[in-house]
Structure 1
Amino acid sequence: MKTSQLHHFVVAAEELHFQRAAQRLDISRQKLTSSIAAVEAEYGANLFDRGAAETRLTRAGERALEDARAELAKPSTPPPPPPRPAGGKAKASKGKGRAPVVKGEPKPFPKRQGR
């Protein structure tokens, strides 16, 4: 479950009105409803009693609210650093290769052997 979904649930539980909660979170009501549906699916129970006159938390919703607040109060741990690639530093070759060609300079030729 994502922390954003928990945050949406906590705000909706505080407001007990989905439209005001969506305005407070600055998201659409559809997104708020889908976040709450995801939290309800995670807990496996209805967290809100949506009546015609008012919206209330169920017993499962009250327990979920306590759990969500505790989860949001925990400090977030940073992700572990990515693993370092295997191997060490690249080494220069020790062979006798040609010197690099420099523009405007003559090509290096092997020295002639004297007689």
Structure 2
Amino acid sequence: MEITQLRQFVAVASEGHLGRAATALGVSRATLRSSLDAVEAAVGTSLVTRTADVVELTADGERFLVTARDEIAADDAAKTPAKPNTGGKAKASKGKGRAPKVKGQPLPYKKRQSR
């Protein structure tokens, strides 16, 4: 079972309605129905009872909802990038020690500007 299917199951469980969950996720109702069927097939038990578009969780569905949320949280934590190491010593530039050029001004390291 994929993490997308778990996210869809959690959305349907929290909304309690296939239409609202489909709108929130930006998918069709048929996609949600097939996703719920796939999750139920993977678990091996009925997780929801459906009447029209209204969805209610069974006792097994309540227990699986906790597991699904934990797996989603673990997946999100694994995807967050680690903070880059920002500490350390500042390094001096290795430039020539000259001032920058400014348009219309003589070059800073020459006594006179040539023509």
**Is 1:56 aligned to 2:62, yes or no?**
no
- 1:8 deviates by 0.2
CA distance in 1, matches of 2:56, 2:28: 21
Equivalent residue for 1:76, pick from 67, 70, 78: 78
Q: CA deviation at 1:77?
A: 6.0
Deviations 1:7-51 (A, max 9, x none): 000000001100110011000111111111111011111111123
What is the number of residues matched between the two proteins?
78
Match of 1:25 in 2: 25
**Matched position secondary structure for 1:50:** strand
* Change in 2 beyond 3 A, CA 1:54/1:36: closer
Q: Secondary structure at the match of 1:76?
A: helix
Identity in percent: 45
After superposition, what is the alpha-carbon deviation per residue over 1:62-111, rounded to whole angstroms, capped at 9, x for unaligned? Answer: 01100000000112369xxxxxxxxxxxxxxxxxxxxxxxxxxxxxxxxx
Letter in 2 for 1:32: L
Give the structure-2-normalised TM-score. 0.62
How high is the TM-score relative to the length of structure 1?
Answer: 0.62
Which stretches in structure 1 are left out of the alignment for 5+ residues? 79-115
Which structure's residues are more often helix, by fraction?
2
* Superposed structure 1 runs of 4+ greater than 2 Å apart: 51-55, 75-78
Contact 2:12 2:55 in 1 (8 A): no
* Corresponding position of 2:10: 10
Highest Rg: 1 or 2? 1
- Relative to 1, partners in 2 of residues 1:51 and 1:23: Cα closer, same or farther, differing over 3 Å? same
Q: Name the SS of the counterpart of 2:78 in structure 1.
A: coil
Q: CA RMSD in A?
A: 1.9
